[in-house]
Amino acid sequence: MKNSSDSSQFVLNGEMLNQLNATVKEFVNRWLLNQPFFANKEMPQSTNGTAMCVTVVVLLLPIAIVYFRRHCCGNGRLPKPVPFKVSLPDQAKPNWKGKRLSSTEVVDPQNPNMIQCYCPATGQFLGSFPSKTREDIDLIMKQAQSAHDEFRHSSFERRLRVLVSLREYVLNNQDLIARVACRDSGKTMLDASMGEILVTLEKLAWVIKHGRKILQPSKRKGPTNLFMKMYKGAEVRYEPLGVISAIVSWNYPFHNLLGPIISSIITGNAIVMKCSEQVVWSSEFFIKLVQTCLRACDEDPNLVQLCYCLPPTESNGQAANYFTAHPTLKHITFIGSAPVAKHVLRHAAESITPLCVELGGKDAFIVLDSVTALEKLSSIILRGSFQSAGQNCIGIERVIVSSKNYDKLVSIIAKRFKDDPFRLGSDIDHHVEGVDMGAMISNNRFPQLESLVKDAVSKGARLLTGGSPYTHPKYPQGNYFQPTMLVDVTPDMDVAQNEVFGPILVMMKGESTKHCIELANSAPFGLGSSVFGNDYQECNYVANELKTGNVAINDFATFYVCQLPFGGINGSGYGKFGGEEGLLGICNAKSVCYDALPFVSTQIPKPLDYPINSNGKAWTFVKAFITASYTTSPWQLIKSVMSLAKNGN
């Protein structure tokens, strides 16, 4: 859709400026000009100029404040970014012409131990990489451990220097990074800009601004014991765990890789990233980028390592399972599917390695009766459903609309499909080429997507558009699936219960607000959701009733951009990454108590010292101590203190 937009983007267009100007003008006329100072003054007949001036001030003042705080206050205490350059492979250059494969398979047909990389949008061959062996994994772990042994004592200044240097590079090389991500994933440059670069820069900026404060020792209240609380201090210190890992999915090859690395660096850990075999080529480049940055900042590049291997088989020595069970790893974050997660959990248990597990979702997008701006809402629905060809763990999987708005919203979206059909293709090298949606990572799930559509139609759903693969006239080797719209979907259909992870828009009708909630909670997942309505109290009620780990009210998926703890419940996994909880989760929370007052410390009273002279006297002393420590009765306190004095010798 040419006119689709994303709610997370703020564009100050002419219409919005006019609306803001009108609002300020009304403010000037109704309030400012009626104040005593102006009451007897002769004012101009028109206040357009005044309103426009105030409008400009309203717009520029907060921007100026944010800029001042960022560049003059906050960043004034930050290390300066260290410039560095990364050599580019030919495939990463604009307008690269690579040979197209006749068989786009991950396993190289000429060598079963080699991972074959290709562009899903065009079928262009990117390169082959040897699947890592047990020996490779041992070496990677050894290098990471050695690097961490020194880095664990690093100052925040050292860690922040790496992160501000990374931020500077990403900000200044957006086209390059997007192109590399698109080559390996098949998405459009626009999808890469929003889903890869924007969120990565936000995480970098957030961690740079707040990371040091979050990881400072946390003072605790200490004991309530009457005697101990007077001299005992308590705190939690957050120390690096050691070598950690993140096993990440292929759908965001840059952001999924950089996110855990950013957290690892600020917490003082070393990290071994395990990427999907689908995106080895881009992952190699992005890890090289980070290692080059580390080297430029005088840090050991082995702090960040990359591992990849083919799925476990008898022929490859079970390297993937060996990686997961490796005793060097102190924590694993896993992002992927439930079947693979079960294998990871089973093997991680061998070394008792803790995990944070994110398994995708079946996110509901709830539209309540009070919503009126359905046309604008349709743009959010289209963006949330078809960005990255629907391959988004917090993408919109179900649009649940209350009865009042259902038919109207279905009509609006169907009309947009009819009047302005989606254009599929690749814009990696041709920004001027009109493309709305890119390719899927592979074609191996096409039969499953077609099966979901057929099952829904057989049970009463209506297929308004799409529903099958698409052969692109320019890129016949590309993995394209038609943007699909299914309406009148019910909970008994497979498409309502299983994660689609593809370009299928599913619409369900709720008879009431309560029914909308029931439909949203009917799937076995619980990752994210959105609720839209003009009645905030009703929206808040719905948010409280949804059984998910994340909710956006009158917005889509912004809980992720807000750097909140991210994770799901039920079939979506457990644990949180992102936000404060994400950083603290990869630290050893060391509890420390200490003497807060000089020359006052814990001593063993004489009645309790070995050898015990009198068990009766010792018991009376301890009982009096406990009573005095916790009683709420003044009289009991006095008697207990007197007993302590009496029996203390």
CB atoms within 10 A of CB 1: 20
Closest CA to 276 of 505, 435, 120: 120
Structure confidence at residue 321 (pLDDT)? 94
Which amino acid is located at 176 in the chain?
A: L
Concatenate the DSSP letters of all residues of 69-113 into one string: IIIIIIGGGSPPPPP---PPPGGGSTT---PBPSS--SB-TT-TT
Provide the residue count of the chain: 649
pLDDT of residue 598: 83
Residue 569 above 60 pLDDT? yes
User: How confident is the model at residue 434, as a pLDDT?
Assistant: 86
Which run of H or of E encompasses 305? Answer: strand 304-307
**Residue 72 or residue 376, greater confidence:** 376
Q: Is the pLDDT of residue 31 over 60?
A: no
The set of residues, in sequence order, having a beta carbon less than 8 Å from that of 41 and lying 6+ positions away, is: none
Give the domains, in start order, of the chain with CATH numbers: 14-77 (no CATH), 132-360+582-589 (3.40.605.10), 364-556 (3.40.309.10), 603-647 (no CATH)
pLDDT(433) > 90:
no
For the stretch 602-621, pLDDT in tens is 899 999 999 999 999 999 99
Q: Are 516 and 547 in contact (CB under 8 A)?
A: no
Burial label, 454 (beta-carbon count in 10 A; 0-12, 13-18, 19+): middle
**Res 648: pLDDT:** 85
d(CA 316, CA 314): 6
CA-to-CA separations, 649 to 440, 601, 618, 621, 644, in angstroms, rounded? 80, 18, 10, 10, 9
Mean pLDDT of 529-555: 97
Question: What is the spatial distance between Cα 394 and Cα 295, in angstroms, rounded to a whole number?
Answer: 35
413, pLDDT greater than 50: yes
pLDDT at 403 over 90: yes
Give residue 238's pLDDT: 98
Whose CA is closest to 203, among 257, 272, 268, 242? 257
Please, which pLDDT band fits residue 104 given cuts at 50, 70 and 90?
confident
Higher-pLDDT residue of 289 and 431 is 289
Q: What confidence tens digit (pLDDT) does each residue in 216-233 have?
A: 999 999 999 999 998 999
The rounded distance, in Å, linking the Cα atoms of 143 and 331 is 17
Q: What is the pTM of this model?
A: 0.88
**CB contact at 8 A, 505 and 413:** yes
Lowest mean pLDDT among 138-152, 300-314, 400-414: 300-314
Known catalytic residues? 358
Query: What would the DSSP string read from start to end of 526-582?
Result: -S-EEEE-S-HHHHHHHHHH--SS--EESSSSHHHHTT--B---GGGEE--BSHHHH
